[in-house]
Amino acid sequence: MQCVSSVTFSVLVNGSPHGFIKPSRGIRQGDPLSPYLFILCSEVLSHLFTNATLVNKLRGMKISNTGPAINHLLFAGDSLFFCHAHPKSCATIMEILGMYETVSSQAVNLHKAAITFGSKVKQQVKTQLRRILNIHNDGGGGKYLGLPEQIGGKKEIFTYIVDRVQQKTKGWSTRFLSEAGKEILIKTVALSLPVYTMNCFKLPKGICDDINRLLASYWWSKSSDKRSMHWMAWKRLTIPKNEGGLGFRDIECFNKAMLAKQVWRILQAPSSLLTRLLRGRYFETTNILNARTGGSPLSFGDPF
């Protein structure tokens, strides 16, 4: 790695490079090489956890008897580690992180790290594991990628989407915008708020109706303190413009289309981690197209 310990820059002036800049502090965040080096280091960390599982020093978590065991997930700059609530597993995690810190000079910020326990872990075990990991923050109460980390029920996970759309539309109601401006805001901002959630879950019909109601109220409103007449049903406004509508997305249909895209990915990548997880849990002996609703689906609050 010594060959990439530093970089050099030149400044483009009228399309021609000029000057020679060599940073004295090495590669910094934002440098074009940083993502590649980070991926290389993350691959080493991933292999360390995988090897620890192979030699039975670390036990990953399984959501089904035939599904794969998971001990870590890496997404961009975030790392999620899973293990059984046992001192040996926690000590192995600290050992691996110590090796990674020595080699890469990247240390885990324990003040920002958080730990989440399963509902059946006893309090004395929690205290013991906190001391081993030196992590005292409780996780599960925040959000990750726009979704709550732990969910108690369907209504709770989807209600916040309606609240976000309502907050957005209330802020826009104080602005004097033309119909074209409202159309752009609805299509580019309001309808994009639930996209990530719709990519993972099927929204209940009641939630879709609530979102449509908020968007229709904003579209027909003339001010923030007065109710306006809805001269046309929102369903007709979702029709394409060449057919007489305004081309707004139908939330329920768009949700189904995004989930269908996920099904296509599962069919096209049968060896991916997500496919193996879902197959082991829901359609072990068939495929996703023929899968039936299980009697014990995985709850959002389950600790695996």
DSSP 274-296: HHHHHHHHH-SSS-TTS----SS
Q: What is the pTM of this model?
A: 0.70
Closest by CA to 34, choosing from 12, 1, 78, is 1
Among the residue ranges 16-25, 124-133, 168-177, 212-221, the one predicted with the least confidence is: 168-177
Digit-coded pLDDT (tens) for 56-111: 888 888 888 888 888 888 887 788 888 888 888 889 999 998 888 888 777 888 88
Digit-coded pLDDT (tens) for 209-242: 888 888 888 888 776 555 677 778 888 888 888 8
Burial class (CB in 10 A: 0-12, 13-18, 19+), 124: exposed
Q: Which two tokens stand for residue 199?
A: 């990519």
**pLDDT at site 303:** 38
Closest by CA to 251, choosing from 189, 195, 180, 181, is 195
Please, what's the b/e burial string for 225-247 (b: 16 or more CB within 10 A of its CB; e: otherwise)?
eeeeeeeeebeebbeeeeeeebe
Q: What percent of the chain has pLDDT over 90?
A: 4
**pLDDT at site 6:** 66
Q: What percent of the chain has pLDDT over 70?
A: 84
**How many Cα neighbours within 13 Å face the side chain of 172?**
24
Closest by CA to 195, choosing from 147, 235, 230, is 147
**List of E strands, 142-200:** 143-144, 147-148
Residue 264 pLDDT class (50, 70, 90 cuts) = very high
Write the Ramachandran bin of 19: left for phi over 0, alpha for psi from -120 to 50, otherwise beta: left
**pLDDT at site 1:** 55
d(CA 38, CA 153): 37
Residue 301 pLDDT class (50, 70, 90 cuts) = very low
Average pLDDT over residues 199-216: 85
d(CA 55, CA 151): 34
